Structure 1
């Protein structure tokens, strides 16, 4: 009985203090909903590998996200972010379309051809310091009525810049 209790206690301590390894996605791995769509929206994160800073009791991974359609105007119908863990992408959140206009500066969720739209303060904020991979995605309808997409990963590290 004492051995079982000790084993259980050690196991719980390991769970509470163990570092989570979220893994690294393979380049060809993308969420199912994006697999059969033409990639026609460019998505760029800066910086691509994002190290946090600590301000008071929170960690901030400060980065910007830009989107661009080169071929035609595109009306965005869905956008959001996935997180990578357990060797696959999991939907973190789909955002409201009005947030696209507010954050990226679009009008009525339309990307004009050749016009870059940038969310300069697309920051991750958390009270916990941990890294992981995210993928931002955008799905829209182009001028020909085709459903198109764009997506890009970003690596948020646990390499604290200010200690």
Structure 2
């Protein structure tokens, strides 16, 4: 009887976790870290709404992220991602600046004016199938020494493509 109760409890827990809804951010809601900084970096995700595929025992939300500065060269001083839950943006991770060069193809974190930089395999991978919202952000300084930023949301769904 104890084994059956444990199995039922585990099954209930797994079902409840599979249907988590982390909410949807308001369109003009941005993290405090980015408020008051001039937007000077364009950030784009493709696709913007990202459906997962399952490969073996893992789920993959495959997407690309691109950054571009139209106004001037920009030196990135910080970049990372926020996740939306508890009705607010929460810092997921600030990345090591060497990762910018490795993943986006910049050199010494410098974005040249008009040059697109793309991380073609910026994939989310997880053992569980759940959707949510993330926001990638970039903070840098332009050629005049002014702080600039860029950010963009991406919506990951629980709509499995290869059922």
> Displacement of 1:21 after TM fit?
1.0
What does residue range 29-108 of structure 1 map to in structure 2 within 5 Å?
A: 29-108=29-108
Taking a change above 3 Å as real, the CA distance of residues 13 and 129 of structure 1, as seen in their structure-2 partners, is closer
Residue matched to 1:151: 151
Structure 2: gaps of 5 or more residues: 1-7
Q: Secondary structure of 2:66's match?
A: strand
> Displacement of 1:12 after TM fit?
9.0
CA–CA distance in structure 2, aligned partners of residues 70 and 158 of structure 1: 35
Residue matched to 1:130: 130
Deviations along 1:55-91, one digit per CA (max 9) or x if unpaired, are 0000000000000000000000000000001110000
Q: 1:17 aligns with which of 12, 15, 24?
A: 15
CA–CA distance in structure 2, aligned partners of residues 121 and 13 of structure 1: 34
Residue matched to 1:5: none
Structure 1: gaps of 5 or more residues: 1-9
Residue matched to 2:4: none
CA–CA distance in structure 1, aligned partners of residues 11 and 23 of structure 2: 22
Question: After TM superposition, where is structure 1 displaced by more than 6 Å over at least 4 residues in a row?
Answer: 10-13
CA–CA distance in structure 2, aligned partners of residues 105 and 89 of structure 1: 27
Task: Compare 11-20 and 58-67 and name the one that shifted more.
Answer: 11-20
Count of residues in Structure 1 that have an aligned counterpart in Structure 2: 155
Residue matched to 1:3: none
Residue matched to 1:113: 113
Residue matched to 1:162: 162
Residue matched to 1:139: 139
Q: Secondary structure of 1:23's match?
A: coil
Taking a change above 3 Å as real, the CA distance of residues 16 and 57 of structure 1, as seen in their structure-2 partners, is closer
- What is the TM-score with the length of structure 1 in the denominator? 0.91
> Displacement of 1:15 after TM fit?
5.4
> Displacement of 1:17 after TM fit?
2.9
Taking only aligned residues, the RMSD between alpha carbons, in angstroms, comes to 1.7
